[in-house]
Amino acid sequence: MTFGPASCTCGTLFDLVIKQKRIEEINAAMAGTGFWDNQEKAQAMVTELRQLNAITKPLMALQTAVDDMQVLIEFAEDDDSGESERELADLLENVKSQLEALELQEMMSAPEDVCGAYIQVQAGEGGTDSADWAEMLLRMYLRWAEEHGFATEELDRSPGEEAGIRNATIAIRGDYVYGYLKGEMGVHRLIRISPFDSAARRQTSFAAVDITPEVDENVEIEVDWENDVRVDTYRAGGAGGQHVNKTDSAVRLTHIPTGVVAACQNERSQQKNKSAAKKMLIAKLYQIQSDKREAELAAKRGSKTKIGFGGEPVRHYVLNPDQFVKDARTGMRVGNPQPVLDGGIDGFLEAYLRWKIGK
């Protein structure tokens, strides 16, 4: 199986010369006449350039910092004021942060890691509390994306009967979004005093999170669109009144051999919704193939790699009587859940990547 534009970033992050040469080639092509005549090819090259810059710029900044350190070391030998030593100490801290960031990026070496991601959140057992919990999780990921400057788009939403959502799908677009978020897949468990229980009893709620890379449509996934995919159209949900969609513009695609479903209702055009759902379905089928390969490798190691919906939760969020968030895989625990629910999940994302590498 081959990848689209993202494949240029495979392999080590430290083949800087090769990447810089490729950047020069793309810049030269963009400066030439007729570059945009083939829109699909041009957009793929623009995407590749953005991804290459995301890798090379931090490396070049690190090289500059190393050169500055050498100069400061020389200055410090003849500087009795101690100013050069203080500058050198500050620079060392900066270099340390840069190295940690590069180390984290190096952990995301799979070709799909550089992609954006589709996030589907589905309420599980727990009734209205579960639907509310699913919406809280959705908000957590949206806040995380906002903090990092990533673009978001809501693709599908099914509201709960009283509150929250039964399920929803969003896209978060930016470099390495999937690489950062892939460890969020699984069941998330909430324990709290239910705001929907008049007796104010503790309630345990579950919601499942599914993460899929937003891969290029040109990845080699064989799909018989005529015979293997069922197309259903339905009326998109709205706020009511003038916002009610009076046509069946929403589209749901079901891949019959696997049962995989992709739906989109955010566009007014049925054709645009179908196109978005098709791209999402391809991404999900690609992920199934990737998971199958990973499962085969895991079977050889005698370990289990994925916890599905209804299985052991990957993370616990406890709001009463104690207050903490704990990841069941890495053991990471924080004592204040609110910043986590407000999108502060970077510590958990990094801990998962390090845990995964260490397995």
Domain coordinates in residue numbering, the chain: 5-106, 111-358
What is the structure's pLDDT at 280? 86
CATH class of 111-358: alpha beta
The tens digit of pLDDT for each residue in 39-66 reads 878 877 887 887 788 778 877 887 888 8
332: alpha, beta or left, given left = phi > 0 and alpha = psi -120 to 50? beta
Mean model confidence pLDDT for the chain: 81
Q: DSSP of 11-43, one letter per residue?
A: S-TT-HHHHHHHHHHHHHHHHSTTGGGSHHHHH
**Residue 314 exposed, middle or buried by CB count within 10 Å (0-12, 13-18, 19+):** buried
What is the structure's pLDDT at 216? 66
Of how many residues is the chain composed?
Answer: 359
- Tell me, yes or no, if the two domains 5-106 and 111-358 fold the same way: no
Calculate the CA 346 to chain-centre distance: 12
The tens digit of pLDDT for each residue in 129-142 reads 999 999 999 999 99
Residue whose pair of structure tokens reads 């599980």 in the numeric block: 124
What is the structure's pLDDT at 257? 87
The tens digit of pLDDT for each residue in 291-340 reads 775 665 444 433 333 333 456 899 999 998 899 999 999 999 999 999 99
The tens digit of pLDDT for each residue in 240-256 reads 434 445 567 888 999 98
CA 328 to CA 195: how far, in whole Å? 26
Let me know: does 125 contact 82? Beta carbons within 8 Å: no
Higher pLDDT, 134 or 197: 134
Q: DSSP of 134-155, one letter per residue?
A: HHHHHHHHHHHHHHTT-EEEEE
**Reported pTM:** 0.68
> Tell me, what amino acid is at 66?
V
Checking if the pLDDT of 182 tops 70, the result is: yes
The tens digit of pLDDT for each residue in 10-32 reads 344 457 788 889 999 999 999 98
What is the structure's pLDDT at 133? 96
Supply the CATH classification number for the domain 5-106: 1.20.58.410
Ramachandran angles phi, psi of 75, nearest 5°: -65, -40
Checking if the pLDDT of 152 tops 90, the result is: yes
> Tell me, what amino acid is at 129?
D
Find the DSSP H helices in the chain: 16-31, 39-78, 83-106, 127-147, 177-181, 270-301, 337-341, 346-358
What is the structure's pLDDT at 219? 61
What is the structure's pLDDT at 233? 87
CA 276 to CA 289: how far, in whole Å? 20
